[in-house]
Amino acid sequence: MKPSQKKIALITGASRGIGRAIALRFAKDGIDVIVNYSSNKNAADEVVQEITDNGGVAFAVQADLGSLAGVEKLFQTVDTKLQETNNSIKFDILVNNAGIAPTATTEETSEELFDQIFDLNVKSLFFITQQAIPRLNDGGRIINLGTGLSRVANISYPVYSASKGAVDVLTRIWAAELGSRGITVNNIAPGAIDTDINAHWLRSDEGRKMITEQAALGRIGYAEDVADVAAFLISDDSRWITGQRIEASGGWML
């Protein structure tokens, strides 16, 4: 990563899916990108390579965010990299994208699975944001990734939906807390998005038919649809928007 006075974004879970699309879109808009990944180094390196091949600036940081030790490792590495290249540990944008969405009904959910979901989707997100706040420049942006399932009840995802409901609440609290610094905090709630995590059902004929029939815009969503919303939320055009849950679902289950 070369020295830069441009804006810098830290995106968790950015090696694939929605996180990857956001990283590529931000880089296209001239933002330096920190690509966090958990285990797939090759995928993260490919994102970084694509960004640099197109004249952008990016580096990858491995950290398993399912524990507080992983959060600590994330910021130790990010601080070192930024200090080396920018003479400061400050950055401008945090995108809390990392998360898991296992299918399990109430009856099927074990304590271990419950803790795994909440540890990554809520606890990790909370402490990443806690660590990021003093590092964010005034006028910065925080984007949390929620879900359409915090609005629509689906009995196959009770714990996942509840974890993202917590993210909805934290978004409003942090928006109130950070408004005096000009930092906006918003939550993008995607609908059914064609990513690897949804491939087992959404890429089937039955799954695609179900979602297209339920969506007002008559199609499934793509990671780029969400990335474009994120690009708007970090732009100056969104300066008067904070504390909002913005559903990017194509009008799913209206």
Q: Which domains does the chain have, with CATH numbers?
A: 8-248 (3.40.50.720)
CB atoms within 10 A of CB 236: 6
Indicate the pLDDT class of residue 6, thresholds 50, 70 and 90. Answer: confident
Res 5: pLDDT: 53
From the number of C-beta atoms within 10 Å of its C-beta (0-12, 13-18, 19+), residue 103 rates as exposed
Percent of the chain with pLDDT over 70: 96
pLDDT in tens, 173-232: 999 999 999 999 999 999 989 887 766 667 778 878 888 999 999 998 999 999 999 999
Res 203: pLDDT: 76
Average pLDDT over residues 165-173: 98
Annotation says 160 is catalytic: yes
Res 3: pLDDT: 42
Of the candidates 37, 157, 160, 222, the residue annotated as catalytic is 160
CA distances to 30, 79, 143, 254 from 233, rounded to whole Å, are 15, 25, 8, 23
Q: Residue 1 above 50 pLDDT? A: no
What's at 167, amino acid-wise? Answer: V
pLDDT in tens, 104-142: 999 999 999 999 999 999 999 999 999 999 999 999 999
